[in-house]
Structure 1
């Protein structure tokens, strides 16, 4: 569940490790464009094995599966994005998982209405629904709903433990490059503003408008 602080009793706090990590993955991508998709599927699965080589404290495996579906609406001018994500970790041979490697759900990991590190555990389950629509040239608007929960074991999953966030924003993007994203998300914790940008894209757009930075 939530880890609001990292006291010395938390496994992996105030320490680092040298580890061997193996992560094979498989990917299927039928999107018509990776930056501004209007149709298609994106599916990715990965398996990880991590073994601490300088000590025997940490040894664990994990896997994750992500599915995205882009559905064109109104002749492709508007897009419905459906996303599902599952990640799980388990210890191996009496080893442990350092807290900083646990799965996260927060503003940077799909649950956009919650601050960094808000939800953290061995498992994470997430669903996103996003409606994208044109605003002007390379600008898209979006309205989204996120729901997810973290868990230790699958038996811990409960409907009442899902956390929700919703919001809206703008995406500045072309068919060849992601530019800038501004979103406002609301959850039980309050309101968060999310900003993410590509500096090169912003510089090019500013130059076209007669500005420089």
Structure 2
């Protein structure tokens, strides 16, 4: 029998990937309370792409696969607003969810197994130079260690920055085949003339 864990949920119009970083402005009471509780207990919450609804007001309907978020920094620089940066940790699958106090979603989640390390295949080697430039431009917004030899890490970092619809990012998050993810990204970039296709 699958063991489920309880996790507060923060549905958003964006996708968080494992080992990624995401800056958020928190101002609704339900999320201020959730973040405060996480800071007190070193707890985490889940970020899911919204399937129906909106980020504010009534609880939204989340997509089933999301990512656990751990708060890295929190600053109250503006009255009534908390600026936080979160780190993406484990992926999870949502089995059920309920609406609790103040319209905060509470999920019953199954942790998905970590994806095994795979080197970037030779056929996708031309993804690396462009990603190195992107990471350099992003600076400390991309957390170290930088794993340019890891197919999952490379695919996730690309998926975060590509100007594609959130639903497409969600599909990339859900993929367990990290090489297929690289092939999709490579095709997207190649069609736009963004990759060096000259032989090494």
- Tell me which interval the TM-score lies in, with the shorter structure as reference length: under 0.3
- As a proportion of its length, which structure holds more strand? 1
Which has the larger Rg?
Answer: 1
Q: Which has the higher helix share?
A: 2
Q: Taking CA–CA contacts closer than 8 Å with sequence separation of 6 or more, which of the two structures ends up with the larger relative contact order?
A: 2
